[in-house]
Amino acid sequence: MSSPLERLRALGFELPRPPEALASYVPTRSVPISTTHQLVWVAGQVPVRDGKPLYTGRVPDEVSIEVAQEAARECALNILAQAERSGGLDRVEQVIQLTAFVLSADGFGEQPRVANAASELLADVLGPAGQHSRIAVGANALPLGVPVEIAAVLLMRSD
Residues at the site binding a copy of itself, with contacts judged by CB under 8 A: 21-29, 31-34, 39, 41-44, 58, 94-99, 101-102, 104-112, 116, 119-120, 122-123, 130-146, 149, 151, 153, 155
Q: How far is the CB of 122 from a copy of itself (least distance, A)?
A: 8
**Sheet order of strands, 37-45 included:** 28-32, 37-45, 148-157, 92-103
Q: Which is nearer to a copy of itself, 10 or 26 (CB)?
A: 26
Q: Which is nearer to a copy of itself, 10 or 137 (CB)?
A: 137
**46, 132, 141 from 54: Cα distances, Å:** 9, 25, 16
Q: How far is the CB of 127 from a copy of itself (least distance, A)?
A: 11
Q: How far is the CB of 69 from a copy of itself (least distance, A)?
A: 12
CB 86 within 8 A of CB 122: no
Q: How far is the CB of 141 from a copy of itself (least distance, A)?
A: 3
Q: Which is nearer to a copy of itself, 64 or 133 (CB)?
A: 133
**Residue 104 CA to chain centroid, in angstroms?**
18
54: DSSP letter: S
Q: Which is nearer to a copy of itself, 15 or 76 (CB)?
A: 76
Q: How far is the CB of 145 from a copy of itself (least distance, A)?
A: 4
**Residue 156 CA to chain centroid, in angstroms?**
16
What φ, ψ does residue 66 adopt, rounded to 5°?
-65, -45
Report which residue type is found at 15.
L
Q: Which is nearer to a copy of itself, 54 or 153 (CB)?
A: 153
CB 103 within 8 A of CB 145: yes
